[in-house]
Amino acid sequence: MNRRLRAGLIAGAALALAVPLSGCGGGGSTAGGGGSSASPSGASGTIALLLPETKTTRYESQDRPLFEAKFKELCPSCEILYSNADQDASKQQQQAEAALTKGAKVLVLDPVDGKAAANIVAKAQQQGAKVLSYDRLTQGPIDAYISFDNERVGKLQGEGLLKAMGSKANSGQIVMINGDPTDNNATLFKKGAHSVLDGKVKIGKEYDTPTWSPDNAQREMEQAITALGKDQIVGVYAANDGTAGGAIAALKGAGVNPLPPVTGQDAELAGIQRILAGEQALTIYKPIKPQAEMAAQIAYDFLQGKAPSGTSTTVKNDTKDVPSVILDPIVVTKDNVNDTVIKDGYQKADQVCTGQYASACSSAGIS
């Protein structure tokens, strides 16, 4: 599917989802079920939202609240069972089984480990529940999938790194700090990045980072500096903003100045601040609002026994061609922070432009 068609689908889905607010989300581990309000169709039921970890800040600050708010708008009398697995695949399996025992008819599953999560899918299928694979592709006979073009994310990161290095690309080596190898998205990011970087730069060291941990990324970068020499590193491919932060901490700790270009992903607050300060070259912005709201719509469709809305393509996992919604990522640099994440409200100017970042915000036209 071409990018223009995808963009049209996002806009169309956003319009389709723009219905009047008729309910509110709850807090704690369970949201919903309060009051005597009823959805426009009179529907009710229980679904589960199963997120993978908290080290990537987007899940708790963006995905969960946006999904819950939209779903409760669609179905005020429905119940949402929420769980976060803290990067533990076994824990996520237990959370899913508990949700099914409590009557969840739809699992919105962002898997810790896409292969291991096939057991969750099998259990759901046995109990007649639907599974929407959210953000990361799950193996097994899932019913729908929604994510971004994750191989393109890696390509955009690689292209951005080459551009940021410029003529220095051939004067040293780069370090690749990839994501967690159990995350299918990390595999796709890595594949996309290699498709751009291979043959154009020398990759001195490359690491897969367990649990996406910034601490692990920092240790990996420290090892690379020791092995290669701090003056020989001309760029760092970091798969997300958390690993970028770890890599930058290691570079600073080794006294590297100026810092080489470092990539990132997720447009986290700290990542945006580092970009404005000149410490990080770029991040990849994946607008979570359309993703979370479209996922809520699909979950509601499944609860009503309907086909999933907006699935205009398919993605093949180990079992089938899965009806899918695939969205486009956006590169963010200092030049377009204001026109992307700030304009969309993904990050707030008054939170980004604090203290030492106020002057950088002013220079970038952020007020």
User: Following DSSP, what letter does each residue of 28-65 receive, concatenated?
Assistant: TTEEE--SS---TT----EEEEEE--SSSTHIIIIIHH
Q: pLDDT-derived band of residue 367, with 50, 70 and 90 as boundaries?
A: confident
Residue type at position 179 = G
pLDDT above 90: percentage of residues in the chain: 87
Q: Where are the alpha helices (DSSP H) in the chain?
A: 3-17, 58, 64-74, 89-101, 118-126, 150-165, 184-197, 214-228, 241-253, 269-277, 288-303, 349-352, 358-363
Decide if 3-142+288-328 and 150-285+331-360 have a common fold.
yes
pLDDT of amino acid 331 = 98
Residue appearing with tokens 């953000």: 135
Q: What are the boundaries of each domain within the chain?
A: 3-142+288-328, 150-285+331-360
Residue 147, pLDDT above cutoff 90: yes
Global pTM value:
0.84
**Exposure letters 122-161 (e unless 16+ CB within 10 A, then b):** ebbeeeebbbbbbbbbbbbbbbbbbbbbbbbbbbbbbbbb
Helix, strand, coil % in the chain, rounded to nearest 5? 45, 20, 35
What's the average model confidence in pLDDT over 329-354? 97
pLDDT digits (tens, 9 = 90+) for 292-330: 999 999 999 999 999 999 999 999 999 999 999 999 999
Burial, 41: exposed, middle or buried (Cβ in 10 Å; 0-12, 13-18, 19+)? Answer: exposed
**72-127 tens-digit pLDDT:** 999 999 999 999 999 999 999 999 999 999 999 999 999 999 999 999 999 999 99
Distance CA 241, CA 57 (A): 10
| Distance (Å) of CA 367 to CA 267, 280, 281, 287, 362 | 18, 21, 21, 21, 6
Q: Identify any residues that bridge with 177 across adjacent strands, giving them in sequence order.
A: 207, 238
Helix axes 288-303 and 64-74, enclosed angle (nearest 10):
40
Residue-averaged pLDDT of the chain? 90
Tallying the residues shown for the chain, one arrives at: 367
pLDDT at 320: 97
Instruction: Say yes or no to pLDDT of 19 above 70.
Output: no
Asked if the model's pLDDT at residue 11 lies above 50, the reply is: no
According to CATH, what is the number of the domain 150-285+331-360? Answer: 3.40.50.2300
CB 197 within 8 A of CB 206: no
Q: Specify the pLDDT at position 42.
A: 57
What is 3-142+288-328's CATH number, 3.20.20.70, 3.40.50.150, 3.40.50.2300, 3.30.565.10?
Answer: 3.40.50.2300
Q: In the chain, pLDDT over 70 holds for what percent of residues?
A: 89
